[in-house]
Amino acid sequence: MDEIIEHPERGARTEDKEVVIISGSSGLIGFPLIERLAKNYRVVGLDRLGPPYPPLEAECVNFDITDEKAIDAAMERIRYGYGSKIASVIHLAAYYSFNTKDSPGYDEINVKGTRKFLNQLQDFEVDQFIYSSSDLIYKPVEPGIKIHEDCPVEANWGYPESKIITEDLIKENNKDIDTVFLRIAGIYDEMGHSIPIGQQIKRIYEKELVSHFYSGDMDHGDVFVHLEDVLDAIERTVAKRNELPHEIAFNIGEPETPTYKELQDRIGRLIHGEDNWETHEVPKSIAKIGAWTRDLVGDPFIKPWMIDRADDHYELDISRAKEYLGWEPKHRLMDTLPEIIKNLKEDPDAWYKENNLER
């Protein structure tokens, strides 16, 4: 008889824990999520990145979401090692890029890949399916108007469009599985790890000329959310899976939206000691020409297609998440910026590398 080792700090014997599957387990969310959930669940990570898989609490199964045979092999490994009963599947695997407005990856990975994954899950007993969606699926609003989960959706580039299509696909296929859509805002942490924030900081840190110009309304802005708050929301969603409706969506973001100008001024002050970072609004026609020209001579972050959505504004109503999950964010981007800039100043090379930026 095999020896059973009980870990008092984890509260249950390993074979008594329910199984949780995380796709995209090596990513920004998946990696630390495994460490959290492993205290109470048997966690299996699915990702193209194979062993060695640092968190010792979970097994990593090789998983290519574009390959039906690879998905089948991964799920057979799970069935063999863990059985067919799964408490929750957390689907994080997705394609995302600012380099192009549209990409085959959005359809191949986000839409078709999810369809293939769902087909395999039909042969398992899955209590809950959590889909990592985006707040960018919503139609932009004017400042002061809160977006709730039943507000209109409207996609103006490939990524949110793929999320809308995939949400509809999941609704059609998950008739027997309780489903939660987490519409997550732009994620950041104390090292940055946010593409738009990282780029904005880089422009100001290097005093680039373009850092003084913006093609949209500077009193508009996007919603952000700290990584730790996202992990908390997912953990609560899994824990409350037996209390939630059969199908529900939650906005996961901070209740306040910092404007582009507020971010500019705060970053400028933290980096250079300037209370007001001089920023001028530029007509879209001129901004597009500038972006197009820069695109020819390098690989700038600001692409011509982004100019059209520079005026987009989002503010989230998170009352549903408070009611059903008891969740609300403990962090605020404007309060975390000093720590982000501190880490940049202490070791610029490490910060740039961590944020996949070139100096």
Task: Please tell me the predicted confidence (pLDDT) of residue 10.
Answer: 40
**Residue tagged 């009963």 (tokens):** 85
pLDDT at 303: 55
Tens digits of per-residue pLDDT, 158-167? 899 999 999 9
- 185 Cβ partners below 8 Å, 6+ apart? 135, 222, 223, 224, 225, 251, 252, 253, 254, 314, 316
209-237 pLDDT per residue, tens = 777 767 677 889 999 999 999 999 999 99
Q: Residue 208's pLDDT is what?
A: 84
The 10s digit of each residue's pLDDT in 146-159 is 999 999 999 988 89
pLDDT of residue 211: 73
Q: Whole-number mean pLDDT of the chain?
A: 86
d(CA 138, CA 312): 10
Provide the 8-state DSSP code for 277.
Answer: -
In this prediction, residues 44-59 reach a mean pLDDT of 70
Q: What is the pTM for the complete model shown?
A: 0.89
Going through 67-215 in order, the beta strands assigned E by DSSP cover 85-91, 125-134, 178-184, 186-188, 213-214
Mean pLDDT of 304-329: 86
* β-bridge mates for residue 181, sequence order: 131, 249
Q: How confident is the model over 100-138, as pLDDT tens digits?
A: 778 888 899 999 999 999 999 999 999 999 999 999 999
CA distance 263 to 258: 7
Domains, the chain, with CATH or none: 16-186+226-253+315-330 (3.40.50.720)
pLDDT digits (tens, 9 = 90+) for 194-207: 999 999 999 899 98
Token couple for 346: 């202490």
pLDDT at 30 over 50: yes
Q: Which of 160-169, 274-283, 325-334 shows the lowest per-residue confidence on average (mean pLDDT)?
A: 274-283
